[in-house]
Amino acid sequence: MLSVVIGRSTRLAASIYAGCIPVLVGEASHYPFFDVIDWGKISVRVDINDLSHLEEVLLLRYTIEDIEALQTNLMLVRNAFVYPLDSVTPEDAQRHLLEERGPLFFALQ
């Protein structure tokens, strides 16, 4: 499943956690963890001029194997996009995430 994200969207984290491959529109935005996550391995980018024929562009550009590889990579880093529950302090959530996976894990992905 693909999820179109234009610019900075609050739905990006929800889409990623749902297993949707983000379709990022444009080149000028910086995305979360851009310094440690290779967004080219977990998303696809299209030009804003391609939006009128987006389905055709995506079907011609990506094979099912490409989509499966993107989704596999996405599953490896999606926990980085999880926000803690209200009852959990941000510090506890960060400590848990770092203990569970660690920053090196996300950097290597």
pLDDT per residue as tens digits for the range 57-93: 888 999 999 999 999 998 888 877 766 667 777 777 7
Tell me: the pLDDT tens digits for 3-41?
555 555 567 777 887 788 888 887 766 777 777 788 889
Confidence (pTM): 0.65
Amino acid at position 28, single letter: A
Amino acid at position 60, single letter: L
Q: Domain extents for the chain?
A: 2-82
Which tokens in the block code for residue 74? 């996405």
Q: What are the backbone dihedrals phi and psi of residue 44, each rounded to the nearest 5 degrees, phi first? A: -125, 150
Cα Rg of the chain (Å, integer): 15
Tell me if residue 46 falls in helix, strand or coil: strand
CB-count burial class (<10 Å; 0-12, 13-18, 19+) for 69? middle
pLDDT of residue 65: 94
**Strand (E) or helix (H) holding 25:** strand 21-25
Neighbours of 19 (CB within 10 A): 12
Going by pLDDT thresholds of 50, 70 and 90, the confidence category of residue 1 is: low
- In percent, the amount of the chain with pLDDT more than 90 equals 14
